[in-house]
Amino acid sequence: MRTELKAHQLSDPHLAAVERNLRACVHCGICTATCPTYLLTGDERDGPRGRIVMMQRMLEDGGTPTHETVHHVDRCLSCLGCRTACPSSVDYRRLVDHARAHIEETYRRPWRERWLRAGIVYVMARPDLVKLGLRLARLFAPIATRLPGPFAVAAKKAVRIPRVEDEEPLHTGAGRRVALMPGCVQQALAPSIDRATARVLERRGMALANLKGADCCGALAFHLGRRDEAKRWARRNIVAFEKAGGAEAILITATGCAAHLADYPAIFCDEPEWQARAEAFAAKVKDFSELATPRLGGSPGDLRIAHHIPCSLQHGLRRGDQGAALKAAGYKVAEIPESHICCGSAGSYSLLQPEMAAALRERKLDAIATLGVDAIASANIGCLSHLAGDDAPPVVHPAELIDWAEGGPRPAVLAAVAPAAKTG
Burial class (CB in 10 A: 0-12, 13-18, 19+), 4: exposed
Contacts of residue 72, defined as CB under 8 A and 6 or more positions apart, other chains included, come to: 43, 45, 46, 50, 51, 54
pLDDT for res 160:
63
pLDDT for res 421:
40
**Separation CA 265–CA 287 (nearest Å):** 17
Number of domains making up the chain: 2
User: Which residues of 300-354 form beta strands (DSSP E)?
Assistant: 304-308, 332-335
Read off the pLDDT of each residue in 356-384 and give the average, rounded to a whole number. Answer: 95
Q: Of 106, 133, 166, which one is at a domain's C-terminal end?
A: 106
**CATH number assigned to the domain comprising residue 52:** 1.10.1060.10
Kindly state whether residue 281 falls inside one of the protein's structural domains. no
Burial class (CB in 10 A: 0-12, 13-18, 19+), 212: exposed
Kindly state whether residue 276 falls inside one of the protein's structural domains. no
Read off the pLDDT of each residue in 94-103 and give the average, rounded to a whole number. Answer: 96
Inter-residue contact 270 to 227 (CB < 8 Å): no
Question: 247 or 36, which is more confident?
Answer: 36
Q: What is the pLDDT of residues 46-91, one digit of tens each?
A: 999 999 999 999 999 998 999 999 999 999 999 999 999 999 999 9
Kindly state whether residue 145 falls inside one of the protein's structural domains. no
Q: Rounded to 10 degrees, what is the CA torsion of 87, 33, 102, 221?
A: -100
- Give 153's pLDDT tier (boundaries 50, 70, 90): low
Kindly state whether residue 17 falls inside one of the protein's structural domains. yes
Least confident piece of the model among 249-263, 296-310, 322-336, 339-353? 296-310
pLDDT for res 420:
44
Q: Of 106, 127, 154, which one is at a domain's C-terminal end?
A: 106
Q: Which domain holds residue 80?
A: 7-106
Share of the chain above pLDDT 70, in %: 87
Share of the chain above pLDDT 90, in %: 63
pLDDT for res 412:
87
Kindly state whether residue 348 falls inside one of the protein's structural domains. yes
**CATH number assigned to the domain comprising residue 353:** 3.40.50
Strand partners, 395: 376
Task: Say whether 210 sits in a helix, a strand or coil.
Answer: strand
pLDDT for res 190:
83
* Averaged pLDDT of the chain: 88
Q: Rounded to 10 degrees, what is the CA torsion of 317, 318, 324, 325?
A: -10
Task: Say whether 332 sits in a helix, a strand or coil.
Answer: strand
Q: What is the pLDDT of residues 12-59, one digit of tens each?
A: 999 999 999 999 999 999 999 999 999 999 999 999 999 999 999 999
Question: 335 or 144, which is more confident?
Answer: 335
Q: Of 89, 106, 123, which one is at a domain's C-terminal end?
A: 106
Kindly state whether residue 16 falls inside one of the protein's structural domains. yes
User: Which of 271-303 are b and which e, b meaning 16 or more Cβ less than 10 Å from the residue's Cβ?
Assistant: eeebbebbeebbebbbbbbebbeeeebeebbeb
How far, in Å, are 131, 139, 148, 156, 407 from residue 143 at the CA level? 19, 9, 11, 11, 42
**Separation CA 99–CA 4 (nearest Å):** 16
pLDDT for res 170:
62
Kindly state whether residue 400 falls inside one of the protein's structural domains. yes
Phi–psi pair at 188, nearest 5 degrees: -85, -40
Read off the pLDDT of each residue in 360-373 and give the average, rounded to a whole number. Answer: 96
Read off the pLDDT of each residue in 105-121 and give the average, rounded to a whole number. Answer: 91
Kindly state whether residue 330 falls inside one of the protein's structural domains. yes
Give all strands of the β-sheet with 285-286 in edge-to-edge order. Answer: 206-210, 176-180, 249-251, 285-286
Read off the pLDDT of each residue in 121-139 and give the average, rounded to a whole number. Answer: 77
Least confident piece of the model among 20-34, 55-69, 100-114, 202-216? 202-216
pLDDT for res 185:
81
pLDDT for res 76:
97
